[in-house]
């Protein structure tokens, strides 16, 4: 592996620092570059082949790392350590408004002594916000870029994990709302909402779980590019990741409990409907028998030759039968 060449200043055609003139697509690399305190931060949002080719030509990175950046398939979370730089792949949740689903956003990072290159496969708000602050405010540039590339990496990863908690809060609020709706009779809508919440939690777990061991080794791999006390900062990132995982475990149990509760409520309502229909059938059946029996054209039935008295008698028998059945149902505690 060849040594990492001296970092070269990008040409005007290959850098962009919040200028109004947009680079021509497919020709000029769309690269954001910022330098301060001997540290260069390069950010490439949603890289195209133009930016990837520029990256491969400008720096002596391993071809497999370049291939990982170029690949449209999501790479696993990992840390690849070389003699003069470290390549890092992390994933973070992002809500896709188009599909209304929680998706994984991939962040590729190259870090060396005086260089940090961030390459999200799509624009990430925390990174864009930090870039804007560093580009426009001297105190933020001093704060984030004045302690080396390792500290800047910590701030970026920390901001990304802070961004995870509002998404978790939204899932928690959704579960609380579902709990209230279950007992209000939401029907099929509740089943669909529970299924969507369950899918979000599953997707979130698939994003967070694979990179837990990666984060534990992050401080060890980048310690030569960071201040000596940075170990405590990266421990905080690991702690945040564990807190997120614990919340996801809790939400997983909650949504499964809500699903079971909703099924119980639906079953209970169905049993109530069946119970009422059964009682109505039990009441109507003997009355139907009585009216059918006395409706037959057979001589000798009680009051069959006494005109209106036969109607009164049949009605009395029907009322008495219904009252007796209701009293029996109550004694059995069926109603």
What one-character-per-residue DSSP string does 192-244 give? HHHHHHHHHHHHHHHHHGGGHHHHHTHHHHHGGGS-TTHHHHHHHHHHHHHHH
Q: pLDDT above 70 covers what percent of the chain?
A: 79
> Residue 249 CB: number of other CB atoms within 10 A?
12
CATH class of 272-331: mainly alpha
* Geometric angle at alpha carbon 325, from 320 and 327, rounded to 5°: 95
Model confidence at 221, pLDDT cuts 50, 70, 90, reads: confident
pLDDT higher than 70, residue 11: no
Alpha carbons 147 and 90: distance in angstroms, whole number: 22
Q: Does the structure show a pLDDT above 80 at 168?
A: yes
Domain ranges of the chain: 12-266, 272-331
For residue 149 the two structure tokens come to 């590339």
Most confident of 55-69, 215-229, 281-295: 55-69
Residue 309 sits at φ, ψ, to 5 deg, of -65, -30
Q: What is the mean pLDDT of the chain?
A: 80
Asked if residues 318 and 310 have their Cβ atoms less than 8 Å apart, the reply is no
On whether the pTM is more than 0.85, the answer is no
14 pLDDT above the threshold of 70: no
Dihedral pair phi/psi, residue 281, rounded to 5°: -65, -40
- Between 33-47, 97-111, 268-282, the lowest mean confidence (pLDDT) is in 268-282
CA-based nearest residue to 47, from 109, 136, 135, 140? 109
Average pLDDT over residues 16-44: 71
Range ranked top by mean pLDDT from 142-151, 213-222, 268-277, 296-305: 142-151
Lookup result for tokens 């590729």: 108
pLDDT band at residue 210 under the 50/70/90 scheme: confident
| pLDDT band at 44; cut points 50, 70, 90 | very high
Could you please state the CATH topology (level 3) that the domain comprising 12-266 is classified under. Answer: Beta Polymerase; domain 2 (3.30.460)
Q: What are phi and psi of 227, to 5 degrees?
A: -60, 160
């Amino acid at each position: 592996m060849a040594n990492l060449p001296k970092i070269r200043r990008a040409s005007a055609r290959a850098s962009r620092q919040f200028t109004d003139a947009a680079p021509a697509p497919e020709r000029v690399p769309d690269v954001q570059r910022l330098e301060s305190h001997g540290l260069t931060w390069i950010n490439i949002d949603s890289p195209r082949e133009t930016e990837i080719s520029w990256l491969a030509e400008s720096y002596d990175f391993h071809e497999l790392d370049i291939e990982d950046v170029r690949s449209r398939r999501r790479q696993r979370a990992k840390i690849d350590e070389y003699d003069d730089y470290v390549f890092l792949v992390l994933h973070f949740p992002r809500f896709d408004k188009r599909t209304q689903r929680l998706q994984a956003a991939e962040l590729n990072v190259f870090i060396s002594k005086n260089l940090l290159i961030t390459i999200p496969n799509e624009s990430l708000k925390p990174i864009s916000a930090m870039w804007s602050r560093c580009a426009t405010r001297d105190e933020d540039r001093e704060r984030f870029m004045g302690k080396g590339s390792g500290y800047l990496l910590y701030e970026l990863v920390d901001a990304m994990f802070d961004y995870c908690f509002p998404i978790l809060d939204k899932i928690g609020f959704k579960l609380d709302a579902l709990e209230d709706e279950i007992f209000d009779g939401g029907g099929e809508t509740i089943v669909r909402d529970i299924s969507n919440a369950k899918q979000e939690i599953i997707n979130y777990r698939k994003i967070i779980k694979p990179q837990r061991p990666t984060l534990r080794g992050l401080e060890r791999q980048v310690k030569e590019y960071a201040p000596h006390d940075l170990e405590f900062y990266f421990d905080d990132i690991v702690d945040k990741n564990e807190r997120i995982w614990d919340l996801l475990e809790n939400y997983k149990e909650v949504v499964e409990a809500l699903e079971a509760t909703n099924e119980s409520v639906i079953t209970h309502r169905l049993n109530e409907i069946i119970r009422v229909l059964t009682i109505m059938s039990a009441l109507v059946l003997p009355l139907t028998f009585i009216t059918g029996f006395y409706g037959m054209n057979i001589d000798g039935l009680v009051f069959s030759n006494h005109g209106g008295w036969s109607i009164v008698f049949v009605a009395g028998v029907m009322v008495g039968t219904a009252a007796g059945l209701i009293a029996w149902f109550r004694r059995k505690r069926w109603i």
